[in-house]
Amino acid sequence: MEKFLLFTTGGGSSDSLNWDSNEGALYNAKNLESIKPASARELDLLFNTISGTEIVTLKIKNGFHSRIISSIATAIGSGKNTVIAIADVDGGRYINNNIYGVTLNKGSYNYIQTLTDNNRTKISVTKTNYTSCTIANIDGTDAVACTLELYDGTTYTKILDQVSIPAKVSLVLNRNEIAFNESIYDLYAMSGDSGGQLTFTFNY
């Protein structure tokens, strides 16, 4: 028996005549790829759909990530209901009482920042649940060396050291190649060419 996971944000309660795709969603449980903590009070569920990866963010009480993940896994694995209300804010139904809200990030989201000189530049990633980072050399003719560093407020630590990216070529880093603790470190980038242009795209 297939199972489906229900999410609503509460928008239907405030204006039931004007629902949109950011206020309610039903996903097939078999399309759930992973569940990952996004912050101390957030849990991300990633679904593979025909439109690409879609992310549902549960707002939770601090530190209850594992209990909520276990509740979801149990409901999918051994529950008898076809439709499982993971976070139905409109209906007041939650798979675990430590959930209190939900955000639907429909479709793919990209954060893009362009580096145009060879000074250390902070890469201001506002959402931390990215799946990969694409670094593109948008210079027309020259290769550009890229350096990535983590900064803890005192020390810069290199995670990518002057890696040459040819003109019109992109380097893709999976999350496990670039992931870091955002509560401790900031990410900085530097081009080896004063005129070299690198574009950083964080894919969600």
* Confidence label for 199 from pLDDT (cuts 50, 70 and 90): confident
pLDDT higher than threshold 70 for residue 126 = no
Amino acid at site 52 = G
pLDDT tens for 59-83 read 999 989 999 999 999 999 987 889 9
pLDDT tens for 134-144 read 898 887 778 88
Residue 134, classified by CB atoms within 10 Å of its CB into exposed (0-12), middle (13-18) or buried (19+), is middle
Domain layout of the chain by residue ranges: 4-105, 110-203
CATH class of the domain whose range is 110-203: mainly beta
- pTM of whole model > 0.85? no
pLDDT tens for 142-175 read 888 899 999 999 999 999 999 999 988 999 988 7
